[in-house]
């Protein structure tokens, strides 16, 4: 396995940032790593990239143990952190040459040229990094992550700050890279995950709450459905408490999203209850399940600690 995590735990005194998580990622997979802020994503990525040791468990990259072979792992990993650390006074070419020297690359010039072309930096290569937009700085960070041709890419918010056209280009690049490399992608942009990732891992409160192929994950609402409803009048949430089969209601005072049991005939019950209360429904339809719906359900569910 390119990435192997077994019972990984990181504690800060009595608090567990991650708690006994396990997963494996094969070569040629692009995997989304999702979770709300504070869920344990950054801690996991820092352990995998050897920035910090775990408290318990085993983490391996390309067969190397993070606790005993950190130098070998750094050769195997290309890492783009969320807060992209760049030398703003350096020119793009100068910076990439600096990084290439750190890795002692023999074909330095060729690798730099390849990465500049791949990341769309050809017209910016002679500019100072400090003169670049946030989107182009992100491209420089991605170029340095690719420079030594790593087998594993760990990318934290890779499309942050990019305009829609740039996002499309970077998604295509990551998708293509994923054909030959292992890619672990952490992002809050769920559209990136749906567009790029074969598989999605969701972590919440330090524990993995989902690990499935992305196309299958949308079925994780199980026997539940989502319904959108809109009223002319303002409606209080306690209106929905009277209706059997409704599990959770969000929104207001006129527009609501309802999480309900699939076979409870909720739409008919809503019409009936609205008539009783002399309320006018202007919209009522079943909503198509999105990855965002699944994410919210898994990370805000009361059953999750």
> pLDDT at position 221, please?
58
> pLDDT at position 292, please?
82
What would the pLDDT profile of 223-255 be if each residue is shown by its tens digit? Answer: 678 899 999 999 999 999 989 999 889 898 999
Instruction: Please give the angle made by the CA atoms of 167, 170 and 176, to the nearest 5 degrees.
Output: 140
Burial 57-91 (b: 16+ CB within 10 A, else e): bebbbbebebeebeeebbebbbbbbeebebeeebb
What predicted TM-score, i.e. pTM, was given to this entire model? 0.77
What would the pLDDT profile of 180-234 be if each residue is shown by its tens digit? Answer: 899 999 988 888 998 899 999 999 999 999 999 988 886 665 567 889 999 999 9
> Whose CA is closest to 172, among 160, 190, 159, 157?
159
The residue among 64 and 118 whose pLDDT is bigger is 64
Please check whether the domain covering 3-217 is classified as CATH 3.40.50.620. no
288 pLDDT band (50/70/90 cuts)? low
Would you say the CATH fold of 222-300 matches that of 3-217? no
> pLDDT at position 126, please?
94
Domain range annotation of the chain: 3-217, 222-300
Class of domain 222-300: alpha beta
């Amino acid at each position: 396995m390119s990435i192997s995590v077994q019972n990984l735990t990181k504690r800060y005194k009595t608090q567990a940032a991650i708690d006994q998580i396990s997963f494996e990622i094969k070569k040629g997979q692009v995997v989304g790593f999702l979770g709300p802020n504070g869920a344990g994503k950054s801690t996991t990525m820092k352990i995998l990239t050897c920035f910090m040791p775990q408290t318990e468990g085993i983490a391996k990259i390309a067969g190397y143990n993070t606790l005993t072979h950190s130098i070998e792992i750094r050769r195997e990993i290309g890492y783009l952190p969320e807060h992209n650390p760049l030398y703003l006074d350096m020119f793009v070419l100068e910076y990439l040459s600096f990084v290439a020297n750190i890795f002692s690359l023999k074909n330095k010039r060729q690798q730099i040229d390849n990465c500049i072309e791949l990341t769309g930096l050809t017209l910016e290569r002679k500019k100072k990094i400090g003169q670049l937009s946030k989107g182009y700085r992100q491209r420089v960070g991605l170029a340095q992550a690719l420079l030594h041709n790593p087998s594993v890419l760990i990318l934290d918010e890779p499309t942050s700050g990019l305009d829609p056209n740039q996002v499309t280009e970077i998604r295509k690049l990551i998708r293509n890279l994923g054909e030959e490399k292992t890619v672990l992608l952490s992002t809050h942009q769920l559209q990136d995950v749906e567009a790029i990732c074969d598989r999605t891992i969701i972590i919440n409160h330090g524990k993995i709450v989902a690990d499935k192929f992305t196309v299958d994950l949308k079925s994780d609402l199980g026997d539940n459905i989502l319904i959108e409803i809109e009223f002319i009048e303002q409606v209080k949430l306690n209106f929905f408490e009277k209706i059997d089969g409704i599990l959770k209601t969000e929104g207001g005072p006129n527009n609501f999203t309802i999480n309900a049991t699939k076979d409870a005939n909720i739409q008919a019950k809503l019409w009936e209850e609205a008539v009783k209360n002399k309320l006018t429904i202007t919209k009522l339809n079943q909503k198509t399940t999105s990855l965002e719906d699944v994410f919210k359900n898994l990370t805000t569910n009361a059953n999750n600690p």
